[in-house]
Amino acid sequence: MASVLTAAGATPVSAAPAAWTPKPAPMTTPWTDQVPVDKPLPEYPRPQLTRPDWANLNGIWDFAVTSKDAGQPAQFTEQIRVPFVAESALSGVQRKITENDKLWYKRTFTVPAGWSGRRIQLNFGASDWQSTVWVNGQRVGAHKGGYDAFSYDITPQLVSGTNTIVVSVHDPTQTGGQAVGKQRVNDVQPHSGGGIFYTAASGIWQTVWIEPVAPAHITRLDMTPRLGDSTLRVKVQGTGLSGETAKVTVSSGRTVVGTATGQPGAELTVPVPGPHLWTPDDPYLYDVKAELTTGSTTVDTVGGYTGMRSVSTAKVDGVTRPVLNGKFVFQTGTLDQGYWPDGIYTAPTDAALKSDLQAHKDLGFNMVRKHIKVEPQRWFYWADRLGLMVWQDMPAMDTGKSPDSAARTQWESEYHAIIDQHRSSPALVQWVNQNEGWGQYDQARIANEVKAYDPSRLVDNMSGVNCCGSVDGGNGDVIDHHNYVGPGVTAPTATRAAVLGEFGGLGYRVPGHEWFPGGGFSYEDQPNTATLNNRFVGLIEAIRLSQLPAGLSASVYTEITDVENEANGLLTYDRQVVKVDAARVKAANQALISASQNPPPPVTLPTGGYKSLRVTTPGNTAKYLRHSDALAYTAVVESGSSALLKNDATWKIVAGLGNSSCYSFESRNYPGEYLRHRDFRVRRDANDGSALFKADATWCAVAGTGGVRLAASNFPGSYLRHINSEVWLATPGGSHTWDNPATFTEDTTWSVEAPWAP
């Protein structure tokens, strides 16, 4: 297991006014009261490029807000706890920031004496959006971008003793043209409305720190595992270089497994013989050390880690699938927005940051889609270490707008920076370029460019190509649909795997754990937790039994937690309540994953001949499926029954009218009329040739105990069911009387028998 520094090396001087206090959070998480005043988030912030000497600058900074065009204020009349955004309770400010405002931050620090003779680097994990930095009154640089890290060499500006940093930030949120994700300028106090958009996050929102470096030093390790020849390919990126040599060492525990030397910036090939592969079930990490040397002198050393794994697409039993280490495993995950009621964009502690990922593991998921937000590098560290495949969205520009050329240039530049920052994470398996058409443009070109820039991962050109006016670029590695509640039908192509980028949205509001009591919404409200569990497990079962065999390769449930007025979470927004039965959800996910790795034989029915369908529910096994006055019922049929009843209970099984891999059931005594659902009731109707009729009259066979279950081709997860002698299209966990959970599985299982009327 890779080792990562978890505490700051040196403590800078900071005068934190005793009067500072956080504001009351709208909801408190288990970690709200565990945030230190003077040094929140003390963990080393860059786990894949570590150095032993560093100093955390998080804590209480002087603060002011001016108009957006104003210069530095003469007085900083407030204090803010960095790195929590001004809108958050944990910052101690907690107020609305608009496009007309500019945020100002100020603090002092001293450089530890032991750092003498080295360059001093000032690092920002992220600051949203346009940031300018001064040290001791001298401007050291400016940065545009809300999701990528940036840094400056501040050595020329430093003085002995006390130094002063000033940072200004302007964040126009959705009124500008930049990447904003789901941020919108709203009231920071809980309120009605908001929909799927949330409170803005302005200013510094990730760790700020300083570190000493050599004039020639390493800035990044680009690491790509190659399983084909059991090597790790590494580019040691650096600055201030003048003929140094790079050396990379890969270790397992204390055992060195491979080394390579070469020029910085060139691809080094490090042998990793018999690699211990990284998988969600076994997320094994190797330690990595990189050095820059001049002759026999080592001028810079950094630590890191890697995981040996490959990601691609391949034909699996003739179907295009994503494969991990050459093997198909169904990717089941959730939509993870990354919002917090106390810190908004910033998790209150590292344990909190880890907790959402651990919740995925506890619920049996093996993947997470980070939705139009980019987390700190420690979030990726926990995904790497815990074993969760990551789909990383590029944060979207505002909806309903066509970005101008300047916005496009900025967005693409920031996307490339984000790829560079996170390209070495073994957990990250897919880039998601755009979402539901928000700020969409040049989909095909961008997908090709991202794939060329990082060919080691899958690329999704547009998540939700079937939704909201989005335009499919037609390329990339996957075709991605959104279906609420779903799971819907997403079909693979010859070149793209089928994925369900969003589905679900089952809502349940937990009293005492609502952001705005009574204001929560969902895609489908559930009356109680029992129904929520049945409905959720029914959706996962539908994917396992119907959509996985039909070619679906991944699904993303909306969502892991409630977010503000969205009540779709498996957990409440405050992370205090797990709404679902964790054991049932985990078992459903594990069954889905297992079915992808060890697929059961397909369930087939004999076609071209007549059969009768017998009820398997105990106490009703003498009943058969029949039609009467064009409606479907069950009735007792026996040898002495009338010829009419026997004919009504006999069906010709033919290839599915709407899907030839499924089945349709033609009436014995009304040729050309078929068993179909309409408004949930199942009936016998004449084929009118329409696509709707063909879909409604097509049933897919899935395994059932003692028989076969018949799922609607166009409503996977809904089954042919008898209840009180009537036959309906029923859904596990559904809200109708015919969805009653009692004997649901038995009522939807049919035994295919010899025909009553041959």
SS3 216: coil
Does the structure show a pLDDT above 50 at 595? yes
Domain 331-597 sits in which CATH superfamily? Glycosidases (3.20.20.80)
User: Mean pLDDT throughout 81-103?
Assistant: 98
- On whether the CB atoms of residues 285 and 278 are closer than 8 A, the answer is yes
Neighbours of 138 (CB within 10 A): 11
Distance, in Å, from the CA atom of 578 to the CA atom of 576, rounded to the nearest integer, reads 7
Per-residue pLDDT tens digits for 615-655: 999 999 999 999 999 999 999 999 999 999 999 999 999 99
Domain boundaries, the chain: 55-213, 217-306, 331-597, 609-753
CATH 3.30.413.10 fits 609-753, yes or no: no
Closest CA to 720 of 614, 604, 605, 595: 614
Per-residue pLDDT tens digits for 335-368: 999 999 999 999 999 999 999 999 999 999 999 9
Distance, in Å, from the CA atom of 758 to the CA atom of 754, rounded to the nearest integer, reads 8
Distance, in Å, from the CA atom of 356 to the CA atom of 362, rounded to the nearest integer, reads 10
Strand partners, 531: none
pLDDT of amino acid 9: 44
> Dihedral of the CA atoms 612, 617, 620, 626 (nearest 10)?
-30
- The CA angle 712-713-717, to the nearest 5 degrees, is 50
pLDDT of amino acid 12: 44
SS3 210: strand
Does the structure show a pLDDT above 90 at 10? no
SS3 4: coil
- Assigned token pair, 753: 């028998």
Cα separations in angstroms, 634 against 517, 621, 638, 681, 700: 46, 10, 13, 13, 20
- Beta-carbon contacts of 471 under 8 Å, excluding residues fewer than 6 positions away, are 437, 440, 443, 462, 465
Closest CA to 709 of 593, 598, 603, 610: 603
pLDDT of amino acid 1: 38
Cα separations in angstroms, 703 against 465, 627, 662, 734, 751: 32, 24, 13, 21, 11
Cα separations in angstroms, 649 against 3, 178, 616, 722: 68, 63, 15, 14
Cα separations in angstroms, 251 against 268, 271, 272, 288: 16, 11, 9, 6
pTM above 0.85, yes or no: yes
- On whether the CB atoms of residues 513 and 574 are closer than 8 A, the answer is yes
What would you measure as the largest C-alpha separation in the chain, in angstroms? 106
Cβ-based burial of 297 (10 A; exposed 0-12, middle 13-18, buried ≥19): exposed
SS3 535: helix
- Assigned token pair, 668: 């014995």
pLDDT of amino acid 19: 84
C-alpha R_g of the chain: 29
Does the structure show a pLDDT above 50 at 6? no
What is the helix, strand, coil percentage profile of the chain, to 5?
Answer: 15, 35, 45
Per-residue pLDDT tens digits for 214-230: 999 999 999 999 999 99
Tell me, which fold does domain 55-213 have in CATH?
Jelly Rolls (2.60.120)
Give the pairing type, strands 231-239 and 267-271: antiparallel
Give the pairing type, strands 389-393 and 428-432: parallel
User: Mean pLDDT throughout 37-58?
Assistant: 97
The band of 733, judged by pLDDT with boundaries at 50, 70 and 90, is: confident
Cβ-based burial of 406 (10 A; exposed 0-12, middle 13-18, buried ≥19): exposed
Per-residue pLDDT tens digits for 113-149: 999 999 999 999 999 999 999 999 999 999 999 999 9
User: Mean pLDDT throughout 286-302?
Assistant: 96
Q: What average pLDDT does the structure give for the chain?
A: 95
Strand partners, 521: 566
- On whether the CB atoms of residues 432 and 393 are closer than 8 A, the answer is yes
* Per-residue b or e along 712-730, where b marks 16 or more CB atoms closer than 10 Å to that residue's CB: bbbbbbbbbbbbeeebbbb
Please state, for a pLDDT cut of 90, what percent of the chain lies above it: 95
The structural architecture, per CATH, of the domain 217-306 is: Sandwich (2.60)
Distance, in Å, from the CA atom of 270 to the CA atom of 234, rounded to the nearest integer, reads 7
